[in-house]
Structures are given as structure tokens and as C-alpha cells.
Amino acid sequence: MNDEPLIRVMALHAIEYCERLFYLEEVEEIRVADTAIYDGRRFHEQLPEYVTLEQFVLQNEELGIRGKIDCLRTQQGMLVPYEYKKGHARILPNGDVLAWPSDQVQIAAYSLLLEKHLNRPIMEGRVFYAADHRTVSISIDEKMRNQVMSAIARAKELRASTERPPITANERLCARCSLAPVCLPEEERLVEQVGRDTVRLFPEDRDLLDIHVTSPGSKVRRAGNTLLIEDKDGQKRSFPIEEVGSITLHGNAQITTQTIHLCANKGINIHWVTGGGHYIGSVSNSAGGVQRRLRQYRALIDPELKLRLAKALVIAKVESQLRYILRLTRGSEVRKELESYINTIRDVLSSTNTANSLDELRGYEGSAAKDYFACFSRLTVDDAKNGMAFIHRNRRPPRDPANALLSFLYSLLYRDCVQAIVTVGLDPTIGFYHQPRSQAYPLALDLMELFRVTLCDMTVLGTIHRNQWKVEEDFIQAGDQVWLSDTGRKKAIAAYENRKQDKWKHPVIGYSLTYARALELEVRLLEKEWTGKPGLFAMNRIR
Amino acid sequence: MSSRKMYYLICYDIREPKRWRKCYKLLKGFGERVQYSVFKCYLTDRKLAELRWELTKILSNEDSLLIAPIQQADVNRIIYLNMNIDWQLEKERFRTV
């Protein structure tokens, strides 16, 4: 008896399809059920009446595998295992009907299990394809047996490794693969073939509801499979759990243990933010991800890689800042006034390329930020009459409404960055640019730099210029500090969340997606810097 | 890889209280009840497949199930008597409570 867990026969099916799929599902334990998988499960629940489904659960230590046989029948005195598939058989141009290679290995593995169990030879297995109503017979010969044994050996080998195998060469497999949005094979192919037309395998939208609970004294409860949110006046609202993507609790809102359990079970993230807008923490049911973390640690202790990533990050940020200022001042008189700032930012950008250390980069970033916020200040001069002028960046605590708003949106962005990193299964505590601190996750701060301009700065300036703020109503002055009021907070959340839904075309990847999805995409591309093909991280720019 | 959503009217007839209860509870997690044993759900293809699978695990041969997709264009042509349902086409992605 050894301690190694048995390999599922379904996993052998996966390994025959694509080694990377096997690795992601069986080793990294990333399982994403898509439409086809649910349809397959339902098909097995609803087999036609003439099939008496008796599932035989078998396992064998010697072979090292376990599996469930759909059905067993006797044909001319011989026992024959059956496997039911909802799809089509493989039909060759000459009209021959075959089972797909991965299905062959699967049925052969069942046959070997059965052989060991009954201690009598099994010479044939059959696969029934429901879509075209055909049964294909597979003879369990020496060749088939060897194929199963080598698949088992390969599975054991891959299980012991921490490296993800490369993407498959056969791109047609990827279009039907349930893990394509995790694996992102098309994006990797892009690195090799620049200008290639990428097939979108990454959903453009998140499709789930992000709930913000802002009213003080609200309570989030579970009622069956719904979330019940009750405010302090007793008004109740319910949300079907399958529609919810995340819950953010602002200030003194309560959530029950039962709800936390349900959310953990459904993969819904819960975030806590103080009434003043400081991020406190999150609960998320992050999958094991040992291999992912090991690879991340190994990669991010390499000073050269850290510098390269940090450089890409700072260039992306400063270039976004520059382009945004240029966009705002296009064809206006203000451009001349800001010329000197714009030129300094340009100079910083070109010297960033030659930076040799993280400290040097931080210097460049800081100097660009100073000039950028100086431009911000000039661009809000006319908003002083509404009390929304941005005189200079100040924080901890923010001392004017514009800064309070900006700080609050940065907190929301930080929350989204943590969520994206945890969803992908990386560890937010190990970053490459920001200093390790106990207060905040460095990797989340790193990722934030890519989205500060597009998601926060643009939202702040846009709403200020559209006169959407009423200083007396939306902000509270408490001594030196300025906070958002209840109404102000709701407005800010709406502005930020709506901005996240804007679609935008990634200049390198070549397809458009919402910013909400872009956050996760960036983390997946970051992981590719050390797992797969580097060169795609921090390539996003504003136009 | 479409993430397009669509409305479905899901109706069932279940002959046994225990199964009815389970089914009711499951559907509450996917959408909104509009009448006894009638739900409206706004689902992607993937969610629909998931729901159908969960339902087949609960239902038995004597129960019946009807899932009617509602095209966007037909939403405005639905006829009501003594009731009204809100069929928002573009559902919001966030809610502040």
C-alpha cells in the first residue's frame, strides 16, 4: 500500500486530450464546469430507458487508478464494459467509425480495472455515442494496454512536477476546452506569432452582481439559496445566490456565519471596508494552488525578473498618465500652460527604460506622479466654485473632497485587485515592485498601478467635470479630514462600478472586454511571465 | 464562449412535497418566483446547463418540467392580468443596499 492517491480514469481521459488540461485539473485542482460538462452530467442522469445504468465503482492499487464504469453487459459469454458519451463518434473520411483516442484509453482503463477485479480477461470495451446513436467497439489488445500503462506513468510523472506542461499544439482542442479561460492558450500563441488573430476564449464580462452594503445597521442573512439583506428599518431585499459575485460590507453592516459558509461554498468573495473607506480584509475560498504559489515564490525572488516586471509596470502607469493628460488638453489652451509638466513626464518615461534598480524606478514613478497631479490641479481650477478643486494629492487622511473621493476609489480598486489575485490563485503577499509591508498586500498594490488612471483618476475627474458632486451633501468635514457621506459613498460606488463595466479593447491581445474582466486577465498574463510565455503583462494602455 | 444572458420561464409540477421543497429551494437560488411553481431566471448557457443538471438529480419520472426561453423582443409582448413582472434587459452589475 502506498500513500499516493489513485488516479481517476477520467483524468487519463484528460491526459490523452491535453497534458496541460490534466495538470490544471488534477494537479492544480482548477475545475471549471462549462455548459458541455453540465450537459454531460445531465446525460448520465437521464440515460434512455433501455440502459440500465449500474455504475460500478472500482479501484486497484496495483494499477494506481480508480473509476466508475457506466454499464456492464454480457455479449456471447464475455463481459463487456460500456461507456456512454453524449457527443459524436469520430468518423473518418472513408466512413470508418472510431472512438476518439481519449475515449479509447478511458474504456481500456475500465477494462483493466474490471479484469483485476473479476480476475478474468476482458477482451472488448464499447463506447456508445448518443449524438449519432452509434456504438464503437474497442478491442483491448496489447497496444491498448500499453497505452493505458504509459498514460498512468505520465500522470504520475506530471503529478510530481510543479511545472505546468506547455499548451497543446493542436489549437482546435482549445476551442472546446472548459479550462481555456484559465489556460489562455491563444494569448500564448500570440507571443510566438505576433499579429495573429486571437480567438477569444476569455469571457468578456463577469456577469455577476457585486453587492455593496452601505447602510449602517444592515444585516446580511441567508435564506435557503438566497441572500437576504435587511436594513435597520426592516426593509428586506433578496438576491438569488447564483447571481451574486461579491459582497462588500461598508462600515457597520453585519453578516451571518451561515452566509459566510454559503459564500465560501459558492466562491463568492466577501470584503470589508471601513465607513471611512479603508480596506480591512476579505474572505475568499481560494483553491489549494500549492504549485501556483511555489512557482510564484521561485519566480519573484529573482531580482532580474522583478526589475523587468517593475519596469513594465512603471512604464505602463506613467504612459497612461501621460496619455490621459494629453487627451484632456487636446486642442485646448491649457496644453501650453502644462507643457513643462508634460515634457518632464515624457523625459521620465524615456529614462525609465534605462533604470537599473527598483529604487531608481520608484524615483521616476514619484516624479511623474508629482507632475501628473500638478496637471490634475490645473485641470480642476474651474471646479473650485463647487468645492471640488484638486489642489494637491493628500491622503491619510484626505483633506479635501477631491482627495477623499480619489482615496475611496483607490480602496475599491485595491479590493478588486486582491479579489483578482486570489481568484487566479496567486499569493498577494509576494509582489515585485512594492516593498513588503504588513499593512497591505504588495502584489495587489503592484497590480493597482495598471488601473489607477483608467478606473479611478478618470472617474474622479470625469464626475467632477460633469458637476456630479455636491460638497455639502456628499462629503463630511471632520476636523482636518474629509470623508464621503452615505449619499456620497453610494454615488462614488456607482461611478466606479459603472466604469468597471466599460468595455475596452486590449491593444496587444486584440479583443475587447470589460475592465472588471481585464483585472483578472492581467493577473493571468502576469502568471504567464513565469509559467508559459512571458511578454504579455502590463501591455495595456489607454488610447 | 458567449456570456450572453437570456430570460427563461421555468415551470414544474411535482407530485411529492419533499421533492417539491428541494426544487423550490434550488430555483430560489437561480431566479425569482413569479407564481406558485413558476420562476423567471436570467441565465447564461452555462448556468442553464447547471440548473438543468441539478434539476434532473431531484425530479423523478412522474414530475414534469417546462423551461421556456423568452426572446428579448417578446418581453414587451407578455400579457399580464392582475400582476406585473419586471423584465430588465440589461441587468445591473452592482447594487448598493
Q: Has residue B69 got a pLDDT over 90?
A: yes
DSSP A267-283: T-EEEEE-TTS-EEEEE
SS (H, E, C) A281-308: EEECCCCCCHHHHHHHHHHHCCHHHHHH
Residue pointed to by grid coordinates 409540477 = B13
CA distance A191 to A170: 16
Q: Residue B11: which pLDDT band, with cuts at 50, 70 and 90?
A: very high
| B42, B46, B97 member nearest A34 (Cβ) | B46
Q: Has residue A222 got a pLDDT over 90?
A: yes
CB contact under 8 A, B56 and A241: no
Q: Inform me whether the C-beta atom of residue A201 falls under 8 Å from chain B C-beta atoms.
A: yes
Q: What are the backbone dihedrals phi and psi of residue B95, each rounded to the nearest 5 degrees, phi first?
A: -145, 130
Instruction: Give yes or no for a cis peptide into A397 (omega within 30° of 0).
Output: yes
Q: Which residue has the higher pLDDT, A384 or B46?
A: B46
Please give the ipTM for the structure prediction.
0.80
Grouping H, G, I as helix, E, B as strand and the rest as coil, residue A524 is helix
| B45, B56, B96 member nearest A45 (Cβ) | B56
Strand-pairing partners, residue B35, are B38
- Element (H or E) spanning A477, and its range? strand A475-478
Q: Which pLDDT does position A1 carry in this prediction?
A: 45
pLDDT digits (tens, 9 = 90+) for A136-164: 888 888 888 888 888 888 888 888 888 78
Residue pointed to by grid coordinates 442522469 = A45
Q: A202, A302, A295: which is closest to A527 by C-alpha?
A: A295
CA distance A415 to A418: 5
Cell matching residue A100? 476518439
The percent of residues above 90 in pLDDT, for chain A, comes to 7
Cell matching residue B38? 413558476
Instruction: Return the minimum-mean-pLDDT range out of A80-94, A139-153, A241-255, A388-402.
Output: A388-402
pLDDT digits (tens, 9 = 90+) for A57-75: 788 788 888 888 888 888 7
Considering all CA atoms of chain B, what is the largest pairwise distance in Å, rounded to the nearest integer? Answer: 43
The whole-number average pLDDT for the span A516-533 is 85
Q: Residue B1: which pLDDT band, with cuts at 50, 70 and 90?
A: very low
CB contact under 8 A, B94 and A493: yes
Grouping H, G, I as helix, E, B as strand and the rest as coil, residue A513 is strand
A-B CB pairs within 8 A amount to 101
Q: Has residue B2 got a pLDDT over 50?
A: no
Distance of CA A305 to the CA centre of its chain: 22
Q: Whole-prediction pTM value?
A: 0.78
Total number of residues shown for chain A: 543
Q: Residue A384: which pLDDT band, with cuts at 50, 70 and 90?
A: confident
CB contact under 8 A, B95 and A210: yes
Q: Which pLDDT does position B66 carry in this prediction?
A: 93
Q: Select, from the ranges A46-50, A359-363, A444-448, B76-80, the one with the highest average predicted confidence (pLDDT).
A: A444-448
Q: Select, from the ranges A36-45, A93-102, A424-433, B19-28, the one with the highest average predicted confidence (pLDDT).
A: B19-28
Do A421 and A523 contact (CB within 8 A), yes or no? yes
Instruction: Return the minimum-mean-pLDDT range out of A127-136, A409-418, A502-511, B36-45.
Output: A502-511
B13 is in an annotated binding site: yes
Instruction: Return the minimum-mean-pLDDT range out of A256-260, A370-374, A413-417, B3-7.
Output: B3-7
CA distance A227 to A242: 10
> Minimal Cα–Cα distance from A306 to chain B, Å?
34
Q: Which pLDDT does position A336 carry in this prediction?
A: 80
> Minimal Cα–Cα distance from A247 to chain B, Å?
10
Q: Residue A231: which pLDDT band, with cuts at 50, 70 and 90?
A: confident
Mean pLDDT of chain B: 85
Q: Inform me whether the C-beta atom of residue A213 falls under 8 Å from chain B C-beta atoms.
A: yes
Q: Which pLDDT does position A459 carry in this prediction?
A: 92
Q: Enumerate domains of chain B plus CATH numbers.
A: 5-93 (3.30.70.240)
Q: Residue B87: which pLDDT band, with cuts at 50, 70 and 90?
A: confident
Q: Has residue A194 got a pLDDT over 80?
A: no
Q: Has residue A195 got a pLDDT over 70?
A: no
| A41, A240, A516 member nearest B30 (Cβ) | A240
Q: Inform me whether the C-beta atom of residue A225 falls under 8 Å from chain B C-beta atoms.
A: yes
CA distance B74 to A498: 28
Q: Has residue A531 got a pLDDT over 50?
A: yes
The whole-number average pLDDT for the span A259-284 is 85
The whole-number average pLDDT for the span A24-37 is 81
CA distance A376 to A321: 10
CA distance B18 to B24: 10
The whole-number average pLDDT for the span A234-261 is 89
pLDDT digits (tens, 9 = 90+) for A309-356: 998 999 999 889 888 988 888 878 777 877 888 888 888 888 888 888
CA distance A27 to A82: 28
pLDDT digits (tens, 9 = 90+) for A77-122: 788 888 888 888 888 888 888 888 888 889 988 888 888 888 888 8
Q: Which pLDDT does position B26 carry in this prediction?
A: 93
CA distance A239 to A244: 7
Mean pLDDT of chain A: 84
Do A376 and A321 contact (CB within 8 A), yes or no? no
In a mutagenesis test of the B interface, which of A45, A221, A248, A273 is the best target, namely the one with the most B β-carbons within 10 Å? A45
Q: Which pLDDT does position A256 carry in this prediction?
A: 93
Distance of CA B27 to the CA centre of its chain: 7
Neighbours of A514 (CB within 10 A): 19
Query: How many C-alpha atoms does A77 have within 13 Å on its Cβ side?
Result: 0
